[in-house]
Structure formats: structure tokens, C-alpha cells
Amino acid sequence: MLLSTFTGNNGIKESLLGALASGRLSHGLLLCGEKGMGVNYFALLLAADIIGSTDIDGITAGKSPLVQIVRGEGASGLIRVDKIRQINENVSYSSINGEKRVIIIENCENFNQNSANALLKNLEEPKDDITYILTTTNARSILATIRSRCAVYTLTAPTRRQTLDYFCSQGSDIQAVESLMAVYGENIGKISSALNSEKRYAVLQDAVTLFDYISKEDTYQAARLCYGYNKRKDDLKMMMDDLRDICHRNLSEKSIQAINTVQKYTEILQMNVNLNLMIENFAVEITK
């Protein structure tokens, strides 16, 4: 079974594979986990096991007729109601040969009211051959009516040993991995991203530097660093996420204040705002 190759979360894997083997797998599954925990990859592995396939690449690329993947659109990642209605239409007919079919809906915190409601009927009255796998990084944002119709599983970080063993198997620089674990803990996705992208690693280093400026209450240097992102909105959001992780790993009264400030400005960043002015205000507030 491919799901057994996923690092960590052994109890959840055993529960799901046991339910699958006995024919007791729920028709609605909600997989939760913070960014980098691999909930979308976990969903793909489970879908492959449900339909009896080993072609993860084909499933990911949408080449399997037995697995449909719904993803959000645009910068907001919004899952539109027309996508859910199309899925509902597709599953209204039973499969010709009785094969199991899977609908994966990634990042379902990006439902709007209409798209969430469009899914509810199918979750309430599921067909025997259909399994819905929903993923989210923010379980609290999911409608209670959807959660109540799904078996909910929350993925957690693997152990330190499991994380190091994983990166050893990948031939990674273990010293670099341990350095990144000081920021990200055992979050394999975030560590992998920083290891494999010079740009991503540079953003992290800026977050580390900004944390130092916050500790020193150096508003000028903080603003100067952040202004380097005035035309890189997505990178700024990434750097703020890294800063939040660093603060969580170095908790103090100032770090807690910084986490709250980052949360406030992350929400502001989603709006159509003057980025230069936002950066100026952020630098002042984060270094108070």
C-alpha cells in the first residue's frame, strides 16, 4: 500500500488502511494539517490505494479516470461553485465496471458558501463507489455541516528521528536539515522547500534577520529589509510565514506580540492595499 510509505502518522495510516481493507472506509474524509505536513500528498496516496493504483504521477496529472482533483483558482485559491457542480454531475452516474472512484478537494478552507453548499448533498447521500477526500490547513474554517459528514483526521509532524531518516534516504545535507529544523521543527514540506530552492532559502534568511531587528527594536533596518519585497507580494507573505515560525520556536513576550502582528498584516496583505504603506506600518508595529 502506498499510504504506508508516508513518513509519520502511523496510527492514522493504520486506521485508514484497516478500514479500507475491511470495506469500512468512510465515504467522506477530512484530512487536516498545517502547511508543509503533506496533507495533499497523503490524499493522493490514499486515493491510489482506494482505486488499486501505483501511478501517483498519473493521478496528480489528472490522467486517471477514477480520481478527480479539485483545486482552487487564482491568487485567492477560491474553489468555485461551478467546479463542485461539475463534480456532482460527473458522479451522478455509477461507474460502468463498479470500480471505486475518488474525489479529492484540496484546501477546502477556500470554499465559499455556494461551493460548500453544493457539496453537502453528495456528502449526505454518497454513492457506494465514491469516496470524497477533503484536505485543509485550517480545520476551523470548514463549515460544521461539512465536518459532521466526514471522518476527520489531523496529521501531525513526524518524530525527529523519522524526519532525519527521511532526509537521509533522500541524500540530503543533514547538517542543513538540522539547521532548518531549528526553525520549522519536523515539518518535512517546509524543510524540503528551503533545501531545494535558493530563493526560498533566501526568504527564510531574511525572516531570521528580521527577527533579529525585532529583538533590537530596530525599525529602520526592519523597514529597509521589508521594502525589498515591495514588488514581491507572494514572497512577502512567505517571509511573514517564516517569521511566525521563528517566533513560535523562540517564544517570549515580544515574540507573541510579533506573532499577533504578523497575523494582522497577513490578513491585510490579502486585500488590495498600498504595499509600500503597508510595509511601513508593519515595520513600525512589529518592532515596537
Residue boundaries of the structural domains of the chain: 2-154, 197-286
End-to-end CA distance of the chain: 52
Q: Is 103 exposed, middle or buried (0-12, 13-18, 19+ CB in 10 A)?
A: buried
The pLDDT of 57-71, averaged and rounded, is 92
pLDDT at 112: 87
Q: Is the pLDDT of residue 128 over 70?
A: yes
Yes or no: say if 240 and 265 are a contact pair by the CB < 8 Å rule: yes
- CA gyration radius, the chain: 21
**Mutual angle of helices 198-216 and 233-249, in 10-degree steps:** 60
The pLDDT of 52-67, averaged and rounded, is 92
Q: What confidence tier does 191 reach under pLDDT thresholds 50, 70, 90?
A: very high
Owner of C-alpha cell 539547521: 179
Q: Is the pLDDT of residue 27 over 80?
A: yes
Owner of C-alpha cell 474553489: 79
Q: Which of 23-32, 35-44, 122-131, 173-182 has the lowest mean pLDDT?
A: 122-131
The pLDDT of 183-187, averaged and rounded, is 95
Yes or no: say if 151 and 158 are a contact pair by the CB < 8 Å rule: no
pLDDT at 121: 82
Classify 2-154 by CATH class: alpha beta
pLDDT at 132: 96
Owner of C-alpha cell 528580521: 210
Q: Is the pLDDT of residue 171 over 70?
A: yes
Mean pLDDT value across the chain: 93
The pLDDT of 55-71, averaged and rounded, is 92
Q: Which of 28-42, 45-59, 120-134, 252-266 has the lowest mean pLDDT?
A: 120-134
Task: Give pTM, 2 decimals.
Answer: 0.88
Cα separation of 217 and 103, whole Å?
A: 49
pLDDT at 47: 97
Yes or no: say if 120 and 145 are a contact pair by the CB < 8 Å rule: yes
- Model confidence over 84-120: pLDDT tens digits? 988 888 877 766 677 899 999 999 999 888 998 889 8
